[in-house]
């Protein structure tokens, strides 16, 4: 029984230490931004820039280049005329 209580206490201490470190790093980051910023709007811009998340997705598109062997003469001339017109 006492082992279970000790394990729970140790687990809670580790969670407390982790949360405290997270909040300290977050506060340190804000303080560094405040030191770097020259005025209040610049500080706001720095904070917004850190909160943005970039989602890069690879776009699936068909290739622009087609092998010349697979294109007939009529199709080739049609594409050339479309490009010119």
pLDDT bracket for residue 62 (50, 70, 90): low
Two tokens, residue 64: 């622009």
Which residue in 84, 74, 69, 29 sits closest to 37, CA to CA?
29
Residues written for the chain: 85
Distance CA 78, CA 74 (A): 6
Which residue in 67, 65, 63, 26 sits closest to 47, CA to CA?
26
Distance CA 22, CA 19 (A): 5
Q: What is the pLDDT of residues 10-48, one digit of tens each?
A: 999 999 999 999 999 999 988 887 888 788 888 778 777
Angle value at C-alpha 27, between 15 and 31, nearest 5 degrees: 160
pLDDT bracket for residue 66 (50, 70, 90): confident
């Amino acid at each position: 029984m006492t082992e279970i209580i000790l394990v729970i206490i140790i687990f809670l201490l580790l969670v407390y230490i982790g949360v405290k470190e997270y909040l300290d790093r977050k506060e340190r980051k804000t303080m560094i931004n405040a030191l770097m910023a020259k005025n209040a709007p610049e500080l706001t811009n720095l904070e917004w820039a850190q909160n943005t998340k970039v989602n890069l997705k690879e776009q699936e598109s068909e290739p622009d280049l087609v092998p010349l062997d697979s294109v007939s003469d009529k199709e080739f001339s049609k594409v050339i005329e479309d490009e010119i017109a």
